[in-house]
Structure 1
Amino acid sequence: MGRSKTDSFVVEIPLRANSEQTRKALARFEAGRQIYNACLGEALKRRDQMLRSKMYRAALAMPHKTKEEIKARAEAFKEAREKYGFTEFSLHAYAARIRDSWLGEHIDANTAQTLATRAYSAVNKTVTGEAKRVRFKRYGELNTLEGKTNKQGIRWRDGCLVWNGLELPAIIDEDDPVIMHGLSCPVKFVRLVKRTIRGRTRLYAQLVCEGKPYQKKKNYVTEGKISLDVGPSIVAEVGDTEANLHLFCRELDDIHTKIRVLQRRMDHQRRANNPDNYNPDGTIKKGRLQWKNSKRYLRTRARFAELNRRQAEHRKSLHGKLINDLLRKGNQFYLEDVSYRAFQRNFGRSVNYRASGMFVNRLEQKATAAKGRVVKFPTASTALSQMCQCGRKEKKKLSARWHRCDCGVTAQRDLYSGFLARHVKIDEEGNYYLDRQSAIEEWPTIKPLLDEAIEKVKRSYFYVAPASFGI
């Protein structure tokens, strides 16, 4: 999209908008949604034509072992994409054509191009294997619009978001060092964000600024190595001088209970309003159905949406707090590259609630920004949950929360996996392996730290710790 590759960070600032300005902004979000959906449909059509072509199938069958073969294959794929118009810039041209209507009154050329790029990226992931399908945006579901630069279209000028006659002044907290630091940096481009908070539409400006984000004094970064074992609901950390066992987002329990109550209430109200849409056994009938929503149901749904928003914001804050705590102990992180999609299939409710995959993604972002790194190694070659430092490998049931081996090693399962992650190394061929000798040498030093971690859990929970801790 022509943007520079320099360091950047995001600062979000609330905007002041009256009812007329909010109405105009919502009309533009709706126009943007229609452009995005149109580009998405066109990209899918071009993708299908390309995938069915002889040119693409020939490129797929080409050998790709040597550098020359890989280069020739990539060139063949590029030719197939260009022939069928499945490229980002071809979709930009399509977005320009559909703007020649009432949509052009609401969406400028730069914003239309960013929408086309989003649609192309979504469809392209289905080609590269990163996704299986794409989703069209329903009414009201498009929540962000952004420009390409801060010179045209959506831009930031003198404390206001300006966009084709729409001028929204910002609510700036001059005592907030994070916001003031962002305003002092050059702005690359601006993103307009829409959120529904307590039933009202709120508008925000996200300034994508050039430079490094503001670093609070309490969130300092220390050089050091920390190994992690990340599960669906807990994470074990093992460092040089400390070990801990954390339950993801423990403070969210109250909100989660309220959400479950509202879910049951919504289901009861929906069944009472639509008895003909259910089979005698209580399951929903197949096919296209008409749903009647009472005012009471709509009020419950609004409360449900607000609680989910609060939960997501609080979860994000708790993840950030834990990550900052880890960065104060070290900036080199080692963990297994587990499948979070498999976690979703097997532990859907817990993963949806605690979001361990989201935690790892944010850890990577923050560690990279702090000039650290996150090293993820494949579970197939390490299998830390099954291994012992003595070399014995035993597959454990999920209910077995402790590692016990005939060699005398006993430890909480997740903490022990975190300890072994400290001794995963890479050979000359690029394969990861467990260095058992270094693990054996360090075990007398680390064992007291793991025992102390268990004692801290007992003191923290006092009565009953989660079953996943095994305590």
Structure 2
Amino acid sequence: MSNYILTLKLRTEKYQEDILNKRLEVGRRIYNSILGDLLKRYNTLKQSKGYRLALKMQKGKERNKKLNDLNKEYGLTEYLLHTHIKPMQKKFKKNIDSSTAQKIATRCFSAFQKLMLHEADKLNFKKCGELNSLEGKSNKTGIRFKNNQLVWNKLIIPVIIKKNDIYAHTALQDNIKYCRVVRKLIGGKYKFYIQLILEGIPPKKHNNETGEVRHVRNEGSVGIDIGTQTIAISSQKEVKLLELAPEVSIIEKEKRILQRKLNRQRRANNPHKYNENGLIKRGNTGKWIYSKNYIKTKNKLAELQRKIAAKRKQSHEKLANYILTLGDNIKVEQMNYQGLQKRAKETTVNEKTGRFNKKKRFGKSLENKAPAMFLIILDNKLKFDNKELRKINTTSFKASQYNHFTDEYVKKKLSERWNKFECSKIQRDLYSAYLIMNSRWNLKEADRDLCFDNWNRFKELHDLEIERLRNEDRTIASMGI
């Protein structure tokens, strides 16, 4: 059964905010205590003779059974963790109930599993004020939503639900699985929300003026060629070349100004921490001095980063809804974004200037535009209709190299943004999206017959899009316009 989240604001008073802050702090301390205990047990397990012998065994069922038995013996299972947290929870029972404490233990175990599976290098403990959410296991005990109120250990806080919020009223008719209390720092002040995890499919949004359903989903094939900053979309209805989260680029300029100001203030307050060449002194263990103006600038930067994250997510949601109106059979190239954000290993020299080339790659673009996050959002929306984002095999498909007219693969430089055919000149990303749209069922190659059949329609829509882009005030250099 699919789930979705409804976030509602709490109408809190000062004393209620103090209680919520205290409970989040208690939750943080329990989390760190459990995480520290898990780490000790894990280090003891690694030093045991049985564990070393199990690692030498041949991979298979017997080895897995041996490792699972050792995990149970040393208390490294989620169930045993729930038992271990009981006496700790009793000391804080006025603030943290048993189901919330068990969810904290589950959260610790999830973080610990990443370490065991070598998905993470170390466990990160929560600093003061870093734990900003707590959740329960059901809507029957612990953190509950009842009669449009948050009910939690004798604390009752009304929830703000607007009368004209049709989406919220419709969503509340679904079954509530469990609730989560969330704290957000907005404009330098903490605001509290309740998140309801609901069973089912999110209700469709309607236009308040006309009453019509917004973002009506349609059937059909859609090809997507997504880059670090742009996305090319090809369908039978429309062909588009768009910038990912364009609102972020505008706010990013303000962020850079604040970061430079913060750096100047930090250097002015701590001259003893820097060498004459501007680098930080090694071995200087003295405390950093932070002025009131520095803290104000830091808070401004934090607020700006929150806005950037919110704008980026909102932009991705809108774009995903738009793509779903074009079709439901959505295909995209597989991309390794972690590899793209890593710095280059080899040192190269520029032939013209004789200087060393920079080793940085696409880390900044990926941080600002978050293309992987967009694909997750799009895939989640498709899952509500029991469908999924289909990923083509890039090693065999090679959309950027294929030419369906000659049935040949030709390598191109990254700077080459146009494909020159005998009959026309086509933008490279849009052509790749077109080929992906017309891929075969196995997602390993383009269907050449389909490419020829749909070409005239694509060419017409392509020319309209290029004309639109040329009339735009601002375009990204990678578009080649």
TM-score, length basis structure 1: 0.89
1:305, distance to aligned residue in structure 2 (A) = 1.2
Q: Measured at CA, do residues 185 and 76 of structure 1 come closer, stay the same or move farther in structure 2, by a change above 3 Å?
A: same
**C-alpha distance 14-223 of structure 1, shift in aligned 2 (>3 A):** same
Match of 2:209 in 1: none
> Which deviates more from structure 2 when the two are superposed, residues 277-286 or residues 181-190?
277-286
2:2 aligned to which of 7, 16, 20: 7
Q: 1:328 aligns to what SS in structure 2?
A: helix
**Alignment counterpart, residue 182 of structure 1, candidates 153, 157, 171:** 171
The answer on 1:434 being equivalent to 2:445 is: yes
One of 354, 362, 382 as aligned partner of 1:347:
362
Comparing 247-256 and 278-287, the one that deviates more: 278-287
Task: Select 2:372's aligned residue among 350, 357, 360.
Answer: 357
Give deviations 1:228-282, integer Å, cap 9, x for gaps: 1111111111112321111011133332211111111111111111111223222
Residue 96 of structure 1, CA deviation: 2.2
| Superposition map of 1:48-447 within 5 A | 48-50=43-45, 71-72=61-62, 74-101=64-91, 103-216=92-205, 217-287=213-283, 288-345=285-342, 346-389=361-404, 390-404=406-420, 410-425=425-440, 427=442, 432-435=443-446, 437-438=448-449, 440-442=451-453, 444-445=455-456, 446-447=458-459
Counterpart amino acid of 1:294? S
Q: Quick check: 1:259–1:307 contact (8 Å CA) kept in 2?
A: yes
Mapped partners of 1:130, 1:180: distance in 2: 40
> Which runs of no fewer than 5 residues in structure 1 stay unpaired?
1-5
Q: Which stretch of the first structure deviates more once superposed, 390-399 or 263-272?
A: 390-399
Q: Are 2:181 and 2:195, in contact at CA under 8 Å, matched by a contact in 1?
A: yes
* 8 Å CA contact 2:94, 2:153 repeated in 1: no
Partner letter of residue 467 of structure 1? A
| Contact in 2 for aligned 1:338/1:378 (Cα 8 Å) | no
1:382 CA displacement: 2.8
Q: Structure 1 residues 381 and 45 mapped into 2: Cα distance closer, same or farther (>3 Å)?
A: farther
Identity among equivalent pairs (%): 36
AA matched with 1:365? N
SS in 2 for 1:370: coil
Equivalent position amino acid for 2:379 in 1: E
The answer to whether 1:458 aligns with 2:458 is: no
Instruction: Give per-residue Cα distances to partners, 1:85-126, cap 9 Å, x unaligned.
Output: 22111222232243354x444222111111111111122123
SS for the counterpart of 2:214 is helix
Structural RMSD (CA):
2.4
1:404 positional shift: 4.3
Which range is displaced more, 237-246 or 51-60? 51-60
Contact 2:332 2:390 in 1 (8 A): yes
CA contact (8 A) 2:397 2:446 kept: no
Name the SS of the counterpart of 1:219 in structure 2.
coil
Conserved? CA contact 1:263–1:304, under 8 Å: yes
Instruction: Classify 1:420/1:43 alpha carbon distance in 2 versus 1 (closer, same or farther; 3 Å).
Output: farther
* Structure 2 counterpart of 1:99, one-letter code: Q
Q: Are 1:221 and 1:370, in contact at CA under 8 Å, matched by a contact in 2?
A: no
Contact 2:333 2:393 survives alignment (8 Å): yes
Q: Distance in 2 between matches of 1:132 and 1:448?
A: 51
AA partner of residue 71 (structure 2)? R
Contact 1:229–1:418 (Cα < 8 Å) also in 2: yes
Query: Per the alignment, do residues 438 and 74 of structure 1 end up closer, same or farther by CA in structure 2, a change over 3 Å counting?
Result: farther
Secondary structure, in 3 states, of the residue corresponding to 1:280? coil
> Partner of 1:3 in structure 2?
none
1:227–1:278 distance in 2 versus 1, CA, 3 Å = same
- Secondary structure of the corresponding residue to residue 99 of structure 1: helix
Tell me if structure 2 keeps the 8 A contact 1:391–1:436: no
3-state SS of the aligned residue for 1:218? coil
Question: Alpha-carbon deviation of 1:72?
Answer: 4.8
**Residues 373-422 of structure 1, C-alpha deviation per residue, up to 9 Å, x if partnerless?**
201234333332233334433443332222347x7774222112212222
Q: Give yes or no for contact 2:436–2:446 (8 Å, CA) kept in 1.
A: no
User: Which whole-Å CA distance do the structure 1 matches of 2:429 and 2:43 have between them?
Assistant: 45
| Number of residue pairs the alignment of both structures matches | 453
Q: Distance in 2 between matches of 1:424 and 1:56?
A: 49
| Residue identity matched to 1:45 | K
Displacement over 6 Å in runs of 4+: none
Partner of 1:448: 460
Distance (Å, rounded) in 1 between the aligned partners of 2:469 and 2:42 = 53
* CA separation of 1:27 and 1:60: change in aligned 2, threshold 3 A: same
CA distance in 2, matches of 1:305, 1:88: 35
SS at match of 2:75: coil
* Closer/same/farther in 2, CA of residues 424 and 192 from structure 1, 3 Å limit: same
**8 Å CA contact 2:392, 2:444 repeated in 1:** no
**Unaligned ranges ≥5, structure 2:** 206-212, 343-360
Change beyond 3 A, Cα 1:396–1:281: farther
Query: Within 1, Cα distance between the matches of 2:452 and 2:303?
Result: 52
